[in-house]
Amino acid sequence: MASIEPYTISVPDSKLQRLARKLETTEFPDELDQAGWDYGAPLADVKRLASYWKDTYDWRQHEAKINELSNYRTAIHVDGFESLDIHFVYQKSDVHGAIPLLFCHGWPGSFLEVTKILPLLVSSGKDAPAVHIVAPSLPNYGFSTGTKKKGFGLPQYAETFHKLMLKLGYTKYVTQGGDWGTMITRIMGLLYPNSVMASHLNTIRGGTPSFFSQPLLAIQHALTPYSQREKAGLDRTNWFLKEGSGYRMEQGTKPQTLGYALADSPVGLLAWIYEKLHDWTDDYPWTDDEILTWVSLYWFSTVGPAASLRIYYEALHDEQLGRVRSEQYIPHVKLGLAYFPRDLTVVPKTWGRTMGPVTYESENDSGGHFAAWERPEAVVRDLRQMFGKGGEAFGVVEGREGYVRPRDAKL
């Protein structure tokens, strides 16, 4: 296998210059009076962000900050596809026996989402379990390369990350993810049940329990009224399906057509992502620099922003191991489920329990789709309680409980 090499992010000056030229010549659409957010990203917001991106935002400053992380790249061969260069952040704890954890992002997020939870988890080991964190850029995202072949779906993303963990020496590990991170790690658990020992999810799907497959859970569902939180969650889910999910159909059916706009227009990409950052969070106070860094990671990505859409097509059209299978029951892998009120689908607990053997649940009073970014303390709390002493997933990775052992403590 090819070696694992440190990786420095260095966007060519030519790409920065191209961005500046395109921002300078942007033509904006008009807007209806008092449109607000009803029709999408407001014109005034997009103009302000585009102007800031062109005149003030300093990518090099943020690039330098990202390069303070432990960035690496390595080649991973996926069966039936070409070898891919996978970028990942890899931060090992000083604790011998720390728990290996794969952090898997989604769209329109990135590996950057791990940065708020990383220092808290790596530095534990006395009162809470420590972890070794592996946070890759998905293939076709960020600073990973992508494929030119059709059919690179959830099983291939799962294979990529499983092989990455094996390459790092982790034959058994746990995972954390939301959005595509939920679906990819779920398929990982299905395909590699002897390696994926537990998964913590902050995007929860599931469905109404069936009397045929889960009779006890179905009885509980039938006899237990929904709580106020669950009723509010179903309202949020219905809003998303009715008013917020159009992007998913376009990206899942004709990603190439949309890709022309996102690859050519930085303002088009900005508006497309900014709308999601607004609608999918719980009044999170986004700064202009945060928004533009998230968008820049797509604009400056190795294979371009259009490539990030293709996973939607592949997962939608795979009838065996696509997104539908990722929402159904998968045995053996212990599950932790974190419910946030402003996520896209906020289902009742009995629905979530149809996904697998649930050993931990948390209900949060605030937070949306990007849990590790919006509510990092809640994600850290969950992982500590789930994998810590007294948690039902404590010791799930044999020999890696995450705590400082007496003989390892410094005298």
User: What positions carry a catalytic annotation?
Assistant: 179, 313, 369
CA distance 232 to 230: 5
Beta bridge partners of 132: 100
Q: How far apart are CA 279 and CA 297, in angstroms?
A: 20
Nearest to 68 by CA among 105, 119, 1: 119
Spatial separation of the C-alpha atoms in residues 145 and 137, rounded to whole Å: 9
Any idea what DSSP says for residue 53?
A: H
CA 282 to chain centre: 17
- Hey, CA dihedral for 65, 70, 72, 78, is it positive or negative? negative
| Nearest-10 Cα torsion for 153, 156, 157, 160 | -170
SS3 396: coil
Residue 148, Cβ density class (10 Å: 0-12 exposed, 13-18 middle, ≥19 buried): exposed
